[in-house]
Amino acid sequence: MCLLIEVPKEKVYFVKFVIEASGHLAFMTIKPGGRIILRFDREEQEKVQELLKHLPILINLHSLT
């Protein structure tokens, strides 16, 4: 499962830190322009999306699969 996350450029590493600190098993690729590609198991999908929805910044989520 892959998910493209678009965040403000200055918040990319904040989002990366939150995902890593929460203990979710996701492989991240950081792209220019405030984009992060997450690869994770289907079991992690709901947990990761719920976590991202509750962050205090504007985040756009796009499924890549």
> pTM value?
0.82
Confirm if 11 and 57 have CB atoms less than 8 A apart. Answer: yes
Q: How far apart are CA 43 and CA 10, in angstroms?
A: 29
Q: How far apart are CA 10 and CA 26, in angstroms?
A: 21
Confirm if 64 and 37 have CB atoms less than 8 A apart. Answer: yes
**pLDDT tens digits, residue range 37-62?**
999 888 888 888 888 899 999 999 99
Terminal CA-CA length for the chain: 6
CATH number of 9's domain: 3.30.70.240
**pLDDT tens digits, residue range 7-28?**
999 999 999 999 889 887 778 9
Instruction: Report how many domains make up the chain.
Output: 1
Domain span at residue 16 reads: 2-63
